[in-house]
Amino acid sequence: MKDWMTPSQITGIFSSEIQSAGGTVTDSFADQSRTFARSVLPPSTDVGPGDKLKGGVALRANDTDIFVHPYVFRIVCTNGAIMARSTQTRRIRRGDFLGELETTLREAIICSCDPAAFSMAADQMRSSQQSAADTAIIFSTFMSRHRTPAMNRMLVDILARFDADADRSLYGLMNAVTSVARDTRDQEMKWRLEELGGTIPAMARKPSSPRGGRRLSVERSLVEVG
């Protein structure tokens, strides 16, 4: 086997493993150098009345890296969030890779199918419903890393959707972010926003302190996005 896979090989392996897990590939995009894919698995859980989540797996690949993450899909509004900081997340680096690539990729996908990843994400989303969102803190670090004219426009759309909703919690902000991601055609931007959306619920668990520990912990978590 060559030292790296083509996008079609990657999507084929992704589809095969998701089908073996009883899931469905819901979104797939590939060009000459990039691959994006998302899927959902059968189990579901409620985070509120009429608000059901399904777990899944998301994959992004280019010429140098393959990222595999747990993924959460909110059924009521068809929004997806990528849990990029989950312990089940795997990154395969071309420069570091020495083994059998296909086997390693299959194992990474299986790891993100772990029900524990979905349970943790659902618990974080339930907790985030009880925590108010500070948009200035949450977006300042993210935008310092991803500031482009297009992302600036996305931020305006996110804030408009958040302001129009009665839900002022972290969960409400996550949904504003992922709803903009859902409507975005640019694959890289969509992925970044879904990663941001997946990071927001975890902020509900960060400790607070009168000396700004809350702000520092949030900024550290956002630095790891993307």
Residue 43 lies in a domain: yes
> What is the DSSP secondary-structure string of 137-175?
HHHHHHHHHH--HHHHHHHHHHHHHHHHSS--BHHHHHH
Please write the tens of the pLDDT for every residue from 82-124.
999 999 999 999 877 656 899 999 999 999 999 999 999 999 9
- What's the mean pLDDT in 121-137? 94
Do both 94 and 177 map to the same domain? Answer: no
Q: What is the dihedral of CA 154, 138, 225, 68, to 10 degrees?
A: -80
Range of the domain at 115: 7-122
State how far the alpha carbon of 112 is from the alpha carbons of 15, 134, 179, in Å: 14, 30, 23
Rounded distance, CA 199 to CA 82, Å?
A: 8
**221: pLDDT strictly greater than 60:** no
Residue 2 lies in a domain: no
Residue 1 lies in a domain: no
Q: Yes or no: say if 121 and 72 are a contact pair by the CB < 8 Å rule.
A: yes
Do both 13 and 116 map to the same domain? Answer: yes
- What's the mean pLDDT in 121-143? 92
Do both 23 and 60 map to the same domain? Answer: yes
pLDDT at 97: 63
**1: pLDDT strictly greater than 60:** no
pLDDT at 218: 42
Rounded distance, CA 135 to CA 158, Å?
A: 10
Contact residues for 98 (Cβ-Cβ < 8 A; gap 6+): none
Do both 20 and 113 map to the same domain? Answer: yes
Confidence of residue 225 (pLDDT cuts 50, 70, 90): low
Rounded distance, CA 187 to CA 195, Å?
A: 12
- Number of structural domains in the chain: 2
**44: pLDDT strictly greater than 90:** yes
